[in-house]
Each structure stands twice: as structure tokens, then as C-alpha cells.
Amino acid sequence: MKENTTKNKNILILTSDAGFGHRSAANAIQAALHQKYGDQCQAVIVNPLDDPRTPAFLRDSEEDYTRLVRSAPDLYSFGYKASDAEIPSTIIESALTLALYEVLGELVREHQPDVIVSTYPMYQAPLVAYFGLNEVCVPLIVVVTDLVTVHRIWFEPDVQMCLVPTETVKKLATKNGVSEEKIRITGIPVSPRLADNTRSKEDIRVGLGWDPYLTTFLAVGSQRVDRMVDTLNVINHFGLPMQMAATAGRDKDLLDKLNAIEWHIPFHAYGYVDNMPDMMLAADAIISKAGGLVVTESLACGLPIMLIDAIPGQEEGNRDFVLQHGAGVYVVKPMQVLEVLAHWMREDGRGLRAAAENARRVGRPNAAMEVAEIVWQAASQGAGSENPISDLRRTRLIDLLTRNQIKWDKKSKPKKT
């Protein structure tokens, strides 16, 4: 593999806004690259599903995801599990290749990347097809953003690297055809600010306008989180000294409901925030659903997690990971919330501190820096000149694209610089 000695590197990070975790992981990688390599790299984040050239059914899929997981979780769970098999996933990958081949090809030609990082599973198959048919050699690195339960379309054997969060996901990757030498366990990237912090909780709370000395619970809500209001109402009436902060994301209805509560403890309500790392560093515990990113950030901060919701499919694994390591609890009824609070807060918060230590033990606050180093090395070394796909796969892809009247002419590949 010939090393690319060009000083400045163009890094293209592909993500999606179907859930906050994919975008947040991309942001963390970008921040780590800028912090570690500065002006030596230009890291750009793009969501191909926002591209007007992307078919409408995929452009709408992010909003459809939110509606489906809230209004029909059992249907979403059925679809997720039914598609996580060899034949359905092959059909999905073929459909994604047809839908995104030209869009992703245009992005490659436009950005001229030295490496591509994907934090979303829809892009691997179309990119590998584009590379193979057009003799384009760009390293493709996949960053998986769930801790345990991961759909097989994440795993593309012909990528350069597959970065996974846990040993469990590593086994899934090898089971689905990714060679072991391409897999690294890095954790899920979180903001470098979580690892770099040197301030005390008390100082951060003062900066946020919170009481510096009260035990602090931070609730992370959105349109995808159920039972948030009921849970916080129980805590509001628990009776011990504490304070509550809550973010509602872009869910204005949730924010209005939280502000309408008659609070008996200090309470701070927010909509969408861009200082979540500071809020987490100021908190003593988190209340949230079992999203891969919020769980990972909480563990990186050493925060116990009260999980109140888990989207069927990928988030159930995140929930189980937290429970198995003693880093949090899963509650679905008000009485369970009371039981957890009583356990955590007795003996001057002994239970809360024990759960925090368990969270800290499995957290990986430096994951983004580790990923950034791998990405930089790949950009510096290049992908080599070998065709990333087999002749048989190439023939099948040509047939698939030709039958659907999609241009794949290798003359459209980007010029080498």
C-alpha cells in the first residue's frame, strides 16, 4: 500500500439524522480530527439523504422513522428483525445501491476525499459498488453506532475498516463476512470535550445557572422518547433535595408539558441544546431512552442511567448492555421510578455512586480520538490500487445497474491529484 504524502487531507464523513446518534458520532469524529490534526485536514460532514438528487422515499425516511417508532413500535420491531437476515438484507442492499449509486458517486467526485467515514448503514453497499465499477480507490471506514444489537447491513466485507463498540458487535461483524483484521473495537465516538474536561461539577453547574451543590438529574428527551413527563413528575414528588434539568430537543410539545408542571424542586427546561457535554458533565445521573449515543456519552461521563424507553430492535441491545454492567436501570412504571430513587439515594447516595463507578468502568471517553487516528492513518496510506470487489460481484452489479438504466461508466471517476 503506497503512502500518500500529501500534507492536507480531505475527509468526507457521511451520516444521517434518523436518530441523533449517527450525527453526534460524526460530529465527535470531526471535532477529534480538528483537535488532533488541525489545518492538516478538512473534515466535512454530509447527509446524503438530504441531497435533492436522493429519491424522495429515502429523503422522507428520517421523518418516517420518528413517526413509526412512536406510533407503531411493534411494526418497526417486526420490520427490523425480519430484514436482519441474508436474503432480505441482500435485497435491501441492492435497492440502496440503485437509489444512492449516482448521489454517492457525485459526492465522491465533488469532495475528492482521501478517506470516507460512514456512521450510517445505508451507504456502504452503494459506495463499494461505485468504487469497484469505476476503479476508484478511496478507503472506506465504517463506524457502528449501537452497542449490541446491530443490523447486518452495517457489515460490508469490502470496506477498509469496520470500527465497532464492543466485542459482541465484533463477533457480528465477522459472522457477516468482515475479516477480523479489518475490525477494531474503539467504542462509539463521543465529544472530545467529555474526556478533556478539567472543571468540577460545581463549577460547570454555576456556569449553567444551576445550584452547584444539589444532586442533579439530567433528562434527555425528544419526539422519540416516551414516558418522560410521567417519570419526571414522580421525581418531582420524591421529597429529597435534588434538582432536575431536562432537554426536549425539537419536541416543542414536550417542552410545553414540562414547563406546565408545578415543580417542587429546582428545574431547568431546554429545547434543542448544543452544550450537551457540559450538561452531562454537570449531572449526577441521566434519564433517557436507550439510544446508542446518549448511552455511550453517559457511560463516558461515568453517569448512571435511568432508561425509560427502548426502541425495539437496535436499542434493546443498548438497554441490556447497561443493565448487564450495573450502570443503570430500566423503568416502565412510576413505582419502579420510586424504587430506583430510594435505592440510589439512600445512605447519602451510596447506590448512585456505585452505579456511577460501574458506568465509568465500561465508558470509553477517548473513542473519538482513537477513531480520528485510524481515519488519519487511512487517509495518509490510501486504499491501494486493487479492485475492492470480486469479478463475480462486479458482473452482478453491472447487470443490476444496466437493467435499471443507471449509468456506471468508469470514465466518470474522479481525477487523481
Same domain, 175 and 253: no
The per-residue pLDDT for range 229-278, each reduced to its tens digit, is 889 999 999 888 899 999 988 889 899 999 999 999 999 999 988 899 99
**What pLDDT is stored for residue 56 in this prediction?**
81
**What pLDDT is stored for residue 414 in this prediction?**
42
Residue 66 grid cell? 420518528
In a domain, 2, yes or no: no
The per-residue pLDDT for range 7-41, each reduced to its tens digit, is 689 999 999 987 678 898 999 999 999 999 998 98
In a domain, 1, yes or no: no
Of 341 and 66, which is predicted with more confidence?
Answer: 341
Region of 65 on the Ramachandran plot (φ > 0 left; ψ -120 to 50 alpha; else beta): alpha
State the total domains in the chain. Answer: 2
Same domain, 125 and 184: yes
**What pLDDT is stored for residue 326 in this prediction?**
95
- DSSP-H helix ranges across 135-166: none
The per-residue pLDDT for range 294-340, each reduced to its tens digit, is 899 999 999 999 999 888 777 888 999 999 999 999 998 888 999 99
Q: Residue 19: CB partners within 8 Å, gap ≥ 6? A: 65, 224, 291, 293
User: Rounded CA gap, 329 and 304, in Å?
Assistant: 8
Same domain, 83 and 183: yes
Same domain, 382 and 322: no
**Residue-range definition of the domain harbouring residue 252:** 193-362
**What pLDDT is stored for residue 96 in this prediction?**
85
Sequence length of the chain is 417
pLDDT-derived band of residue 228, with 50, 70 and 90 as boundaries? confident
Same domain, 142 and 201: no
HSE-up of 64 (CA within 13 Å, CB side)? 9
Q: What is the DSSP letter of 218?
A: E
Same domain, 154 and 28: yes
User: Rounded CA gap, 169 and 147, in Å?
Assistant: 7
Terminus-to-terminus CA distance in the chain, angstroms?
17
- Segment 357-363 mean pLDDT: 94
Same domain, 226 and 125: no
Strand partners, 12: 44, 116
The per-residue pLDDT for range 125-153, each reduced to its tens digit, is 889 988 888 888 899 999 999 888 888 88
Averaged pLDDT of the chain: 85
Rounded alpha-carbon distances, angstroms, from residue 193 to 4, 24, 60, 72, 297: 30, 13, 33, 36, 11
Evaluate if pTM is beyond 0.75.
yes
- Segment 160-187 mean pLDDT: 94
Look-up of cell digits 475490525 = 183
**What pLDDT is stored for residue 416 in this prediction?**
40
